Structure 1
Amino acid sequence: MKTLLLIRHAKSNWNNPDMDDFDRPLNKRGKQNAPEMASRLLMRGMVPELIISSPAKRTRTTAKIMAKEWKYPKQAILLEEELYLCYASTFLKVITKIDDDFEAVAIFAHNPGITDFANYLTQEIRIDNVPTTGIFAVQADTNSWKDFDRAAKKFLFFDYPKHEIG
């Protein structure tokens, strides 16, 4: 079984409209939400063995903040150029390159691609939007990431900062 955590970057700062989108940092709320969501994954017993992130500043920073909570070495985060503002199909290209030694993987990326890909993964749930710092988790019945697309998938959970955990 392989577990995939799709995580959208935390809330970014729009104070400088002239700033290049790629370079936008997190805002105060984003810096608070990222460790909170990492803690929620810890409570679920879900810590990724591999983190792959878009290289955009807001996404990279979200991954680093969450990695710190998980005691995952930030220098081990893989930056994947293709994940910056990608289409849903790009996620599959990235996933098929993952080493099969990893059972649980987190991919940090952007909308609209991350929402489109989450909806592609399962028929069990449809979402309108993965909000900032939202996490969409699925488990695939396979031992190889190369077979992830064809494998039967089970929806695990969808969580985000404004979602109350009961």
Structure 2
Amino acid sequence: MTDRQLWLLRHARAEAGDSMMEDADRPLSHAGRHQADRLGEWMYEQGFRPGLIVSSPAVRARQTTELACERLEFDLNHVHYDPGLYLASRGDLLRIIQDMRVPHGPLMLVGHNPGLEELLIWLCGEPLPRTDKDKLLTTANLARVEIGDSGALSEGGGQLIDLTRADELT
């Protein structure tokens, strides 16, 4: 990875699914579609543009990515769907990130907990901003992390710039 920022986006709220549905096939709920749309709109308003987006191919992550990209006016040709991101561990995420070459701008991962949350804690340490219910990355949360001048990822080597929760946007 060549840029100095890493963005971690947890997918928006998904339908609960049923016993006949595979977990990876769960789509966004109505509320989740609104979350993804609002977060993408907010990112556009802030002038936030990733250089590259790598997303889990799970339906809920793919839909989050597509809705956010629509609002960001971000070309879906610059999105890479990586099967390794589906329910990836912190170690899996680190390997994916280290293999990425970002042409310009931050790398944004769109994926799942607990891996994204574990990576954020590993990079930035505690304390991190949590909800009233002691949650860190709830659905449709964007954590922007400064990873240092070298761009190398190391335990405690990141600095949280901000954590934005779609449900808290007005």
TM-score (norm 1): 0.88
Equivalence for 2:62 = 60
Structure 2 unmatched ranges of 5 or more: none
Distance 1:102 1:91 in 2: 20
Distance 1:101 1:142 in 2: 17
SS of aligned partner of 2:109: strand
- Deviation for aligned residue 1:103: 2.8
The one-letter code sitting in structure 1 at the alignment partner of 2:18 is N
- Deviation for aligned residue 1:142: 2.9
Are the aligned partners of 1:64 and 1:74 in contact in 2 as well (CA < 8 Å)?
yes
TM-score (norm 2): 0.86
Equivalence for 1:111 = 113
Q: Does 1:74 align with 2:76?
A: yes
Are the aligned partners of 1:124 and 1:155 in contact in 2 as well (CA < 8 Å)?
no
**Cα-to-partner distance string for 1:9-58 (whole Å, 9 max, x where unaligned):** 11111253421001111110011110111122223322111110011111
- Which of the residues 34, 39, 42 maps onto 1:40? 42
- Deviation for aligned residue 1:124: 5.4
Are the aligned partners of 1:140 and 1:151 in contact in 2 as well (CA < 8 Å)?
no
- Which of the residues 86, 91, 97 maps onto 2:93? 91
**Cα-to-partner distance string for 1:51-94 (whole Å, 9 max, x where unaligned):** 10011111011111111111112233101111101111111111
SS of aligned partner of 2:166: coil
The one-letter code sitting in structure 1 at the alignment partner of 2:50 is P
Distance 1:3 1:125 in 2: 20
The alpha-carbon distance between structure 1 residues 110 and 47, as it changes in their structure 2 partners (threshold 3 A), is same
Q: Does 1:134 align with 2:141?
A: yes
SS of aligned partner of 1:18: coil
Equivalence for 1:50 = 52
The one-letter code sitting in structure 2 at the alignment partner of 1:136 is A
**Cα-to-partner distance string for 1:129-163 (whole Å, 9 max, x where unaligned):** 3111111110112354xx23379422100111222
Distance 1:153 1:24 in 2: 32
Distance 2:149 2:19 in 1: 44
Q: How many residues align?
A: 163
Structure 1 unmatched ranges of 5 or more: none
Q: What RMSD in Å do the two structures reach over aligned CA positions?
A: 2.0
Extract structure 1 runs of 4+ deviating beyond 4 A: none
